[in-house]
Amino acid sequence: EQWYLGDMRALGVEDPDIAPHATTSIAAMIAMMEVLVAKGNAYAAAGHVLFDVSSFKDYGRLSRRPLGEMIAGARVEVAPYKKSPADFVLWKPSTGDQPGWDSPWGRGRPGWHIECSAMIAEALGTTIDIHGGGQDLQFPHHENELAQSTCAHDGAPLAQIWMHNGFLNMGGSDKMSKSLGNIQTIPELLAQRHRGSHLRMALLSAHYRQPLEWNNALIGRTQRVVDRWRGGSLGNQRKGGQPHPSVVEALKDDLNTPEAIAALHKISQASDWAAFDASMQLLGIDYEQTAGGLSPQQEANAKVAIAARTAARAAKNFAESDRIRDELAAAGIVLEDGPGGTTWRRA
């Protein structure tokens, strides 16, 4: 858990206020199952407790698929104690070598769907604002969560909004996953001198519902953009602004981060650095991290050199201007002159 939190912090994600553990919420799970059994939405059989899918007329509403199609497309356990193959497990018996807890149905352990429903209700209440997860969790996990929570809470919705994100793809259509052995961890990427702000920006470059092809080219492009923005903002007034309306409107439109990033390009070109800084804070991108692997001293030296070059150009001392540019290029810093002044990035 601490490794996960460390990875999230590196990407600029704040720690959660609540981080429940399934093993500390067993009583809440058993209580929810007892409610479902009493209401006729679940039944006990052979030491199991199962949700009766036929008792919930809206089953399949979330994934927008008929029941028969869902059964055909899922790994459904056919067991003699089930009333229907589609019924899913809320509680299962445990053998002596498996984790287990005492319950009205004997020693056992919860199914993973009831874990989430019970912990949500215990920590946040009957209905939450947003429920997120990967597209592959829409069915069966979220469909089952929705069914059992709605039935347990007298028809109250589990969530007002459902958000399902696309996959990170590696090498074409293969999603990044442990089973395929094609994962890249956050510590591995940070060890390659990538910054958390670059990785976060790369992840935001695609709409959350769409797949994202993850590769070094994407990270490199993102790094150059963030470094250029940082270079352009140096020495300018950046504090006290408000997020630019174009960025806010993009995020209000189903969290359209690609549109928000496109707006940031325009804001930077207009040198509205106060609005730019506030917009970047809204997106959680700490572009003030040392850019592209430069030490703080190297970055300070670059800033001084750029100021000297700007003065040389103003005095029409182009030989000195070119000398400074070439010196910085040799150090791996590329200067880009534009209407808003000179920006820099790592080569």
310 and 202 within one domain: no
Using the 3D structure, point to which of 149, 165, 181 is the last residue of a domain.
165
146: confidence class by pLDDT, cuts 50, 70, 90? very high
Res 70 pLDDT > 90: no
Res 192 pLDDT > 70: yes
147 and 44 within one domain: yes
140 and 102 within one domain: yes
Using the 3D structure, point to which of 165, 198, 218 is the last residue of a domain.
165
pLDDT for the residue 304: 82
Q: How many domains does the chain have?
A: 3
174 and 227 within one domain: yes
pLDDT in tens, 250-301: 999 999 999 999 999 999 999 899 999 999 999 999 876 654 455 566 677 7
pLDDT in tens, 308-318: 899 999 999 99
CA 160 to chain centre: 19
Res 228 pLDDT > 90: no
Directed axis angle between helix 26-39 and helix 112-124, to 10°?
A: 100
pLDDT for the residue 291: 45
Task: Indicate yes or no: pTM above 0.95.
Answer: no
Task: State the Cα–Cα distance between residues 186 and 173, nearest whole angstrom.
Answer: 21
Residue 138 has which token pair? 């829409």
148: confidence class by pLDDT, cuts 50, 70, 90? very high
CATH number at residue 161: 3.40.50.620
Using the 3D structure, point to which of 124, 147, 165 is the last residue of a domain.
165
Res 76 pLDDT > 90: no
343: confidence class by pLDDT, cuts 50, 70, 90? confident
Range of the domain at 153: 2-165
Exposure class string for 225-261: b at 16+ Cβ within 10 A, else e: bbbbbbbbbbeeebeebebbebbbebbeeeebbebbb
Which residue has better confidence, 236 or 121?
121
Please state, rounded to an integer, the average pLDDT across all residues of the chain. Answer: 89
pLDDT for the residue 169: 92
The amino acid at 55: S
